[in-house]
Chains A and B, each alone.
Chain A
Amino acid sequence: MRSQANPRLMLMILSAVFAFLYIPISVLFALSFNEGGLPTAWTGFSTKWYGELFANQEIMGAALNTLIVAVVSTILATILGTLLAIGVELRRRKGRFLETIIFAPMIIPDIVLAIALLSFFSLLNVTMGLHTVIVSHVVFNLAFVCSVVRARLKTFDWSIVEASADLGASTPMTLWRVVLPVMLPAVIAGSLLAFTLSVDEFIIAFFTAGAGRASITLPMQIFAMIRFGVTPEINALATIVMTLSVIALALSQRLNRGGLPGQ
């Protein structure tokens, strides 16, 4: 970009920032394979903490709950978000109000949405559990799916839709056989992103899961573990959670080619 930028200074800045970003994560990664489990001393390579992790019924239960929440909310959000994206791009008039409603779930502070949903559910006397976490996660997930799909639709050639209609296809048929195949990479990218967000989401789940252990999710379990006595298993858990997010995100990025949302 700029020729006057001092290359050595730039390299120093980049090294420092990437060290700051990646050292803490790498420490957890290394620690999860430390026999002793403590950061004070390296006592040898071991995968025993992973064994302990998978033997821990509480953690496995929470992991299963998270999987249920993430899968169901991602499916719902993908359907709703994709339809919304196509609908918005199809419209000739762009309304500022509409844009605000679609954009809001991405910028509203989690805590505000969390307490709003908690009050809403309790006022309606809805029993809270995994189902309330699922429907709440769909709120922000559909907005993210919509934004990824819309980015792809900006370069979509709408004349093939007209061609399809001229050839006698009905609207649902055109959507299914013409629009969706072109959109598919973006739809999958969006759903992978939604899945990652849902797996990692803590605050909204914390407020809308209701009382009791039955509906505890993985992030809620991690929060409890950090707060009330850290056990070395958490390093193994952190490593797995982090690796999964990175894989999902790298896949999403590859499919989408356009880059991460916001980019």
Chain B
Amino acid sequence: MTDRKSFYLMTPALAWLTGLMVIPCLLILALAFFRRGTYGGIEYTFTLENIGLVFDPLYASIFLKSASIAGLSALIAVIVGYAAAYAIAAAPAKRQPILLFFAVLPFWSNYLVRTYAWIVLLNREGLIASIVHSLGYEGELPRMLYTESAVVIGLVYNYLPFVILACYAPLSRLNPEIAEASRDLGGSGWTTFRRVTLPMTAPGIATGFVFVFVLSIGNFVTPALLGGGQFQMIGNLVYAQFLTANDWPFGAALSMFLIAIMMGLLTLQTFATERASGARQEDT
């Protein structure tokens, strides 16, 4: 009886999600196996060409580039975010919620505005340049905006709050007695951190890394605005197939590849987390 009521309550929302998420995503999956029409459009014959094209050496350099930018951004975000989460978790318990709130707040403000702020800072006539010049430096500054570093800074800036949140959760649950035990047994502060705290909070780090990596590799806004359109991420490639090159089947294949990367990383992360928690249970 309850299950029937629950079914009625869930139906409208599940119908909405089926119609406007599941079916469109299945459509994209199907599209990846069709041929591109001569004048754009889609020809309904089965082909594996698009999938093959994804692994074409022509695009390998774009993939490597976007993977390295996304990987670097995720790495920096995880290091900085973990340090911040650690410092928040070490603060007096009363102050932790407010610190966390302000750490996460920027994440919920407009993404474009946050990215634009970096244009203002890094611009040739921007704030950083004018501060440096006002300090008496006369020479030409290296180009800061429209570089790979600008893209990495933008990505780290935008996704850092998420990493702080992901790392804070396991850090705040950590039992202080375990670290104490390690020190009583003669472990130094660093050893305790490396051998006890870090492994026990690894799931948060993994979650943070995976999300920053996936969101970065599929991003097209930050490379377009801070990279000046010189750097193509997979996201820009997908964008181009749909809005300029008009090769939807290839765009669909690329986005399936994106989803595959995400699912692969998430599965790996779940697997690693389960193994870690399993190992912990065996220890006790």
Chain A residues near B (Cβ < 8 Å):
1-5, 7, 9-11, 13-14, 17-18, 20-22, 24-25, 27-28, 31, 38-41, 79-81, 83-84, 86-88, 90-93, 101-102, 104-105, 107-113, 115-120, 123, 135-136, 138-139, 142-143, 146, 171, 196, 199-200, 202-203, 207, 219, 222-223, 226-227, 230, 234-235, 238, 241-242, 245-246, 249, 253, 259-260, 262-263
- Per the 8 Å Cβ criterion, residues 20-36 of B in contact with A are 20-25, 27-28, 31
Q: Knowing A146-B13, A222-B113, say if A88 contacts B6 (CB, 8 Å).
A: yes
Q: Knowing A4-B189, A119-B24, A119-B28, say if A41 contacts B9 (CB, 8 Å).
A: no
Provide the residues of chain B in CB contact with A112, threshold 8 Å.
25, 28, 218, 238, 255, 258-259
Q: Specify which of B12, B84, B121, B125 is in contact with A13 (CB 8 Å cutoff).
A: B84
Cβ contacts A to B, 22 pairs, < 8 Å: A1-B90, A5-B90, A7-B90, A13-B84, A20-B160, A24-B118, A39-B125, A40-B130, A90-B2, A90-B3, A91-B3, A111-B219, A116-B28, A117-B20, A142-B16, A146-B13, A200-B109, A202-B111, A202-B112, A226-B225, A238-B110, A260-B104
User: Cβ of B103 and Cβ of A242 under 8 Å apart?
Assistant: no
Shortest A249–chain B CB gap in Å is 5
Shortest A17–chain B CB gap in Å is 4
Provide the residues of chain B in CB contact with A4, threshold 8 Å.
179, 183, 189, 192
Q: How distant is the Cα of A200 from the Cα of B110 in the complex, in angstroms?
A: 5
Stretch at the interface among B45-53, B55-63, B170-178, B275-283: B170-178
Q: Knowing A39-B125, A117-B24, A238-B113, say if A109 contacts B262 (CB, 8 Å).
A: yes
Q: How distant is the Cα of A3 from the Cα of B123 in the complex, in angstroms?
A: 44
Q: How distant is the Cα of A28 from the Cα of B123 in the complex, in angstroms?
A: 14
Provide the residues of chain A in CB contact with B10, threshold 8 Å.
83-84, 87-88
- Per the 8 Å Cβ criterion, residues 239-269 of B in contact with A are 239, 242-243, 248, 251-252, 255, 258-259, 262
Q: How distant is the Cα of A145 from the Cα of B91 in the complex, in angstroms?
A: 31
Q: Specify which of B9, B102, B220 is in contact with A90 (CB 8 Å cutoff).
A: B9
Chain B residues near A (Cβ < 8 Å):
2-3, 5-10, 12-14, 16-18, 20-25, 27-28, 31, 80, 83-84, 86-91, 97, 99-106, 108-121, 123, 125-127, 130, 157, 160-161, 164-165, 169, 171-172, 174, 176, 179-180, 183, 189, 192, 197, 211, 214-215, 218-221, 224-225, 235, 238-239, 242-243, 248, 251-252, 255, 258-259, 262
Provide the residues of chain B in CB contact with A109, threshold 8 Å.
214-215, 218, 235, 255, 258-259, 262
User: Cβ of A196 and Cβ of B84 under 8 Å apart?
Assistant: no
User: Cβ of A92 and Cβ of B2 under 8 Å apart?
Assistant: yes
Q: How distant is the Cα of A257 from the Cα of B198 in the complex, in angstroms?
A: 30
Q: Specify which of B7, B21, B90, B218 is in contact with A104 (CB 8 Å cutoff).
A: B21
User: Cβ of B12 and Cβ of A207 under 8 Å apart?
Assistant: no
Q: Knowing A10-B91, A83-B10, say if A28 contacts B113 (CB, 8 Å).
A: yes
Number of A-B pairs, beta carbon distance below 8 Å: 265
Provide the residues of chain B in CB contact with A101, threshold 8 Å.
14, 17-18, 22
Provide the residues of chain B in CB contact with A81, threshold 8 Å.
13
User: Cβ of A242 and Cβ of B9 under 8 Å apart?
Assistant: no
Provide the residues of chain B in CB contact with A230, threshold 8 Å.
116, 119
User: Cβ of B20 and Cβ of A24 under 8 Å apart?
Assistant: no
Q: Knowing A81-B13, A111-B255, A171-B5, say if A135 contacts B116 (CB, 8 Å).
A: no
User: Cβ of A87 and Cβ of B113 under 8 Å apart?
Assistant: no
Q: Specify which of A110, A119, A139 is in contact with B27 (CB 8 Å cutoff).
A: A119
Q: How distant is the Cα of A81 from the Cα of B172 in the complex, in angstroms?
A: 30
User: Cβ of B91 and Cβ of A111 under 8 Å apart?
Assistant: no
Provide the residues of chain A in CB contact with B197, threshold 8 Å.
2
Q: Specify which of B14, B31, B117, B215 is in contact with A25 (CB 8 Å cutoff).
A: B117
Which residue of A has the minimal Cβ distance to B160?
A: A21
Q: Knowing A222-B116, A245-B109, say if A20 contacts B157 (CB, 8 Å).
A: yes
Q: Knowing A2-B90, A17-B84, A227-B225, say if A113 contacts B6 (CB, 8 Å).
A: no
Which residue of B has the minimal Cβ distance to A80?
A: B13
Which residue of A has the minimal Cβ distance to B118?
A: A24
Q: How distant is the Cα of A219 from the Cα of B109 in the complex, in angstroms?
A: 12
Which residue of B has the minimal Cβ distance to A235?
A: B120
Shortest B172–chain A CB gap in Å is 7
Q: Knowing A18-B103, A249-B108, A263-B100, say if A238 contacts B14 (CB, 8 Å).
A: no
Shortest B187–chain A CB gap in Å is 10
